[in-house]
Amino acid sequence: MKEKIFLIGMMGAGKTSVGKWLSRELNVPFFDTDAMIETQLGMSIAEIFNKWGEVYFRKLEREILQTFRDKTKCVVSTGGGIVLAEENRQFLRSNGRVVFLQAGSETISKRLQGDDTRPLLKELSIETLIEQRKKLYETTAHFNILTDADSISEIGRRILTKL
């Protein structure tokens, strides 16, 4: 593998889990944009949304993404809303291989049941978010992978065959 791999897709699609698996398999560093933001501020994503709001979070997210310009081989799991900014969509496509992890709303609801770490779900339904973002994920990614029926390692292996 010569390049950076960016995982995009809805919350609960498995970006963080599959990204960790891929980085272990490929023996390259793993990054998660949400974890990087949390470390930078010393606050959880939910706390950042609560205290500073989504607009500020998106600014941090854009800045964090830019730090990958100078990095080489690695796996990057992004936050589900990274594609909302045109600047990020362009950056992702021109700086690595972009994989859209796709999951249906039922799968996502099941996976995120009882989860209180994703503040946006308090305001918007999963269906609405999919509706708003599906096209953006599709046009940003080099290819997509359906994740509803497979385990994390199976999804990881399917990505490896397509890279």
Ligand X SMILES: O=C(O)C1=C[C@@H](OP(=O)(O)O)[C@@H](O)[C@H](O)C1
Give Cα 160 to chain centroid, integer Å.
Answer: 17
Kindly tell me which residue out of 13, 22, 65, 99 binds ligand ADP, with binding defined by CB under 6 A: 13
**By CB under 6 A, residue 120 contacts ligand X:** yes
Q: Please, which residue, 114 or 161, has the CB nearer to ligand X? A: 114
Kindly tell me which residue out of 79, 88, 100, 107 binds ligand X, with binding defined by CB under 6 A: 79
**By CB under 6 A, residue 156 contacts ligand ADP:** no
Kindly tell me which residue out of 111, 134, 157, 158 binds ligand ADP, with binding defined by CB under 6 A: 111
SS3 annotation, the chain: CCCEEEEECCCCCCHHHHHHHHHHHHCCCEEEHHHHHHHHHCCCHHHHHHHHCHHHHHHHHHHHHHCCCCCCCEEEECCCCHHHCHHHHHHHHHHCEEEEEECCHHHHHHHCCCCCCCHHHHCCCHHHHHHHHHHHHHHHCCEEEECCCCCHHHHHHHHHHHC
Q: Please, which residue, 79 or 96, has the CB nearer to ligand X? A: 79
End-to-end CA distance of the chain: give it in Å, rounded: 8
Q: Which does 99 bind (CB under 5 to 8 A by kind): ligand X, ligand ADP, Mg ion, none?
A: none
Is residue 12 marked as binding? yes
Q: Which does 155 bind (CB under 5 to 8 A by kind): Mg ion, ligand ADP, ligand X, none?
A: ligand ADP
**By CB under 6 A, residue 12 contacts ligand ADP:** yes
Give Cα 27 to chain centroid, integer Å.
Answer: 20
| Segment interacting with ligand X (CB under 6 A) among 10-18, 64-72, 99-107, 150-158 | 10-18
**By CB under 6 A, residue 151 contacts ligand ADP:** yes
Site residues, ligand ADP (CB under 6 A)? 9, 11-17, 77, 111, 147, 150-152, 155
